[in-house]
Amino acid sequence: MKALLKKSAILKTISSKISTYLHAIDADPQEDNSDFDDEEWMECPTKPTLAHIVLDLLLSPTYRLPKTVTAVRIYRDENIFSVCPRCDVCIEREYQGYCHRCGQYLDWSKLEEAEEIFIGWSGVEDDD
């Protein structure tokens, strides 16, 4: 029950952050040549930078909760790469703490039970 409440709270937090960003992005920034004093200028909405949006999302609680790595991709040359459970991209190094692409915190506890996805071959070596 506690886990369900935590997930609900996390979803509400994400939903409120997204709606705040969407509202902020639609706001019209003020022109630079206006004669506002500092107090009036602070009340006017401005667009957040992309860096601020990405940083806030990376610091959101869902990225800090570990997701278990449950799939590995095996290529014809027998290279094996784990797959990020959030962005579905091959992870560069096994057992790294975070995905290099999306920043998801990774849990490696069930790697031995991971689904094997064969890319470019069926998993059986050809005798040709």
pLDDT at 41 over 60: no
Question: Angle CA(104)–CA(95)–CA(83) in degrees, nearest 5?
Answer: 55
Torsions phi, psi for 125 (to 5 deg): -70, 130
Q: Quick check: 79 pLDDT over 50?
A: yes
pLDDT of residue 48: 72
Distance CA 55, CA 9 (A): 20
Nearest Cα to Cα of residue 95 among 54, 119, 66: 66
Question: What's the one-letter identity of residue 35?
Answer: D
Higher pLDDT, 39 or 123: 123
Which residues, in sequence order, are bridge partners of residue 72?
Answer: 82, 116
Mean pLDDT (the chain, rounded): 75
Count Cα neighbours of 57 within 13 Å in the Cβ-side half-sphere: 15
The domain limits of the chain are 2-64, 67-119
Q: How confident is the model at residue 106 (pLDDT cuts 50, 70, 90)?
A: very high
